Chains A and B, each alone.
Chain A
Amino acid sequence: MNRFMIAALGAALASLAPAAALAQVSPIELKGDVKVDTVVVENGKETHVLVEPKLVVPGDDLVFSTSYRNNGATPVKDFVVTNPLPTAVMLAPEGADKLVVSVDGGKTFGALSALSVAGTEGKARPAVAADVTHIRWILPVLAPGSTGKLTYHAIVR
């Protein structure tokens, strides 16, 4: 499960002659996944267990992940992953400050603490995790064969 193929490129890119061959055989393999972060209390100790999202209700903590792999023979540069948050979830406050996020629908990105949103009576207020609309990761270069996993925690609204 949780597999998908590259949904690839528009006609514009395909029309560029040198790119055409590369476009048809995309070197990047992506794999998305989602798990529910559950807490199991055993002998008074809390343990986090990631389970399949069979049972998900509002308030549940989800872990979304995107695994990537460069299957090509050449390095991939300027690897930019943009992840709009599903509307039914909000970014978990825990660890939100370690991500590059947008609170304006993906127009501008930055650290959450540096962003603000329109509050009541037209005054801007500091943005909080629940305001986040997009997350972005930027990897300067992916060597051939390199893999990684990008994850974030979100709470079902």
Chain B
Amino acid sequence: MNRISRLLGTVGAAALTVVSASPAFASGTASGTSITNTVTVQYQVGGVSQTATGASDTFKVDRKINVTVAEVGSTATDVSPGATAQVTTFTVTNNSNAALDFALVAAQQTGGAAAFAGTDSFDATNVKIYVDTNTNGVYDPGTDLEVAYLDELAADASKTVFVVADIPLSLGSTDVATVSLQATGREGGTAASMGGALSQTNTSAANEVDPMFVDTVFADVAGAVDGARDGAHSAKDDFKVLAAALSISKLSRVVSDPFNGTSNPKAIPGATIEYCIVVENATGSATASSVAISDPLPGTVTYDGGGVFLDGTVTSGACNADGTNTGAHAAGVVTGTLSSVAAGETKTLRFRATIN
């Protein structure tokens, strides 16, 4: 990288144009490619044309090991407490000029800044690595295979890798679990088995090697949890807990009494009371689904049989006379289930009763 950046630095924009115009692969000439410079010379001696050719010694392009692990989406994965098989997505790209295997390791961070926002505060459980077997970019349970390494990834080829984990219960909306995925280059060449560890062959000046010998050079940059030029790269992603934050209040108003009717009614025996249970989910929370409401009536009132209305709305703190009559009443207990309450949304359960 040093070499290239120096070159770009000195020749500026023109060189960048050159690079983009080059038809070569991003990873460059395949390792083991022989390079020989041959010249042809034509000249005249005493008016007679002659030809000669000459060539430099041949050398071979060495093997450059470079891998990039990137998190996909640049955002945390929102998870609910207790959720299973939650997915973070990465890509692993072989920027080496040779086909290689890549060992994959998913690790949990312990404390410290999260990949995107907040602080790592818990560990996910049952962490597994899957490869996007059907290459659709989406984790498909049962289709995408669990792996410990990527097999025979060609130069410039890329694979999508999923880190899948379970989320413990009893977590709040500020909790984050940061996971990292590291891919380490391994010897390629044998399909369906992970090749041996790679090692650089140019690590000491004393290690004199033949130009025809294909050396191995680590050319990767530092990743999230690994160093530069170690034949590996890594990236981090977050599981961010997004819990529902429900607040519940119960409103009541006197609708009518036997003497005043609906005009300024009083809560006297025989009066009709409207109860309204308001469920509000705070902005920025997860959507709460199947919110079951159960309201045992006190012995002093009796359900009037007029219906239990669900999914009503609230205007300026007062319940509107809307919703659908899909709740139930049995043995002095009013019940109903709100199918979902999204973040920032307010829904009601509303019914009437009479004072005994």
A121 in the interface, Cβ–Cβ < 8 Å? no
Of all chain B residues, the one with the shortest Cβ separation from A154 is B37
A residues sitting closer than 8 Å to B (CB atoms) are 1-2, 4, 6-10, 13, 16, 18-19, 22-23, 26-28, 30-34, 38-39, 46, 52-62, 64-66, 68, 72, 74, 76-86, 88-90, 92-94, 128-131, 142, 150, 155-157
Asked whether A34 lies within 8 Å of B59 as measured between CB atoms, the reply is yes
A-B contact pairs, 6 of them (CB 8 A): A38-B3, A39-B2, A66-B54, A78-B42, A86-B35, A88-B33
Q: Complex: how many Å from CA A88 to CA B61?
A: 9
B260 within 8 A of A: no
Query: Which A residues lie within 8 Å of B49 (CB)?
Result: 13
**In the complex, residue of chain B having the shortest beta-carbon distance to the beta carbon of A5:** B54
Residues of B within 8 A of A8 (CB): 50-52
Interface string of B2-21 (1 = CB under 8 A from A): 11101100110011011101
Q: Is B24 an interface residue (CB 8 A)?
A: yes
Complex Cα–Cα for A46 and B4 (A): 14
CA distance A32 to B57 in the complex (A): 7
Task: Determine the residue in chain A with the shortest Cβ distance to B52.
Answer: A6
User: Is B126's beta carbon under 8 Å from chain A?
Assistant: no
Please state if B45 and A58 are interface contacts (CB–CB under 8 Å): no
Which of chain B's residues have a CB closer than 8 A to the CB of A26?
A: 50, 52
- In the complex, the answer to whether B61 meets A58 with C-beta atoms within 8 Å is yes
* Additional 12 contacts, C-beta under 8 A, given A6-B54, A58-B28: A7-B53, A27-B45, A30-B39, A31-B54, A33-B57, A34-B56, A57-B62, A62-B35, A79-B43, A80-B41, A83-B39, A90-B18
Closest to A20 in B: B48
Q: Are A156 and B56 in contact (CB under 8 A)?
A: no
Interface centre among B11, B41, B217 (most CB of A within 10 A): B41
- CA A64 – CA B54 in complex, angstroms? 12
Specify which chain B residues have a CB less than 8 angstroms from the CB of A156 in the assembled complex. Answer: 28-29, 35, 61
B283 within 8 A of A: no
Query: At the interface, yes or no: B106 with Cβ under 8 Å from chain A?
Result: no
Chain B residues with CB under 8 Å of A94's CB are 7, 10-11
Min Cβ gap A21→B in Å is 10
Instruction: Please give the distance in Å from B19's CB to the nearest CB on chain A.
Output: 8
Contact, CB under 8 Å: A86 / B37: yes
Residues of B within 8 A of A62 (CB): 35
Quick check: B41 and A130 within 8 Å, CB to CB? no
Check B21–A131 contact: CB distance below 8 A: yes
The chain A residue with its CB closest to the CB of B5 is A59
**Interface members, chain B 63-98 (any A CB < 8 Å):** 63-64, 97
Q: Would you call B315 an interface residue if the criterion is a C-beta within 8 Å of the partner chain's C-beta atoms?
A: no
B97 and A58 contact, CB distance less than 8 A: yes
B28 — nearest CB in chain A belongs to which residue? A58
Residue pair B50, A74 in contact (C-beta under 8 Å) = no
> Is chain A's interface secondary structure helix, strand, loop, or mixed overall?
mixed
Q: Does the CB pair B18–A130 fall under 8 Å?
A: yes
Pick the contact of B41 from A30, A55, A58 — CB < 8 Å?
A30
Interface centre among A38, A59, A84 (most CB of B within 10 A): A59
* Contacting pair B18 A39 (CB below 8 A): no
Q: In whole angstroms, what is the CA distance A74 to B33 when docked?
A: 41
Which B183-218 residues sit within 8 Å CB-CB of chain A? 202, 208-211, 213, 215, 217
Q: Which residue among B15, B27, B50, B210 has the maximum number of chain A CB atoms within 10 Å of its CB? A: B50
CA A128 to CA B23, docked complex, whole Å = 12
Tell whether, in the assembled complex, residue A55 and residue B56 are in contact, meaning their CB atoms are under 8 Å apart: no
Q: Hey, which chain B residues are within 8 Å of A86, CB to CB?
A: 35-37
Q: Which residue of A lies closest to B49 (CB)?
A: A13
A80: contacting residue among B42, B57, B211, CB under 8 A: B42
Instruction: Give the CA-CA distance A19 to B44 in the complex, in Å.
Output: 10
The docked-state distance in angstroms from the alpha carbon of A82 to that of B38 is 9
A77 CA / B14 CA spacing, docked (Å): 37
- B317 close to chain A: CB less than 8 A: no
Contact of B7 among A13, A61, A82 (CB under 8 A): A61
Q: For A80, list chain B residues within 8 Å (CB).
A: 41-43
Are B51 and A13 neighbours in the complex by a CB distance under 8 Å? yes
The answer to whether B298 has its CB under 8 Å from any CB of chain A is: no
B316 partner residues in chain A, CB cutoff 8 A: none
Tell me if B210 and A54 are in contact (CB < 8 A).
yes
Closest chain A CB from B310 CB (angstroms): 61
Task: Specify which of A32, A57, A128 is in contact with B61 (CB 8 Å cutoff).
Answer: A57
Closest to A125 in B: B21
Q: Give the nearest-CB partner of B48 in chain A.
A: A19
- Nearest B residue to A127 via CB reads B21
What separation, in Å, do the CA atoms of A55 and B59 have in the docked complex? 9
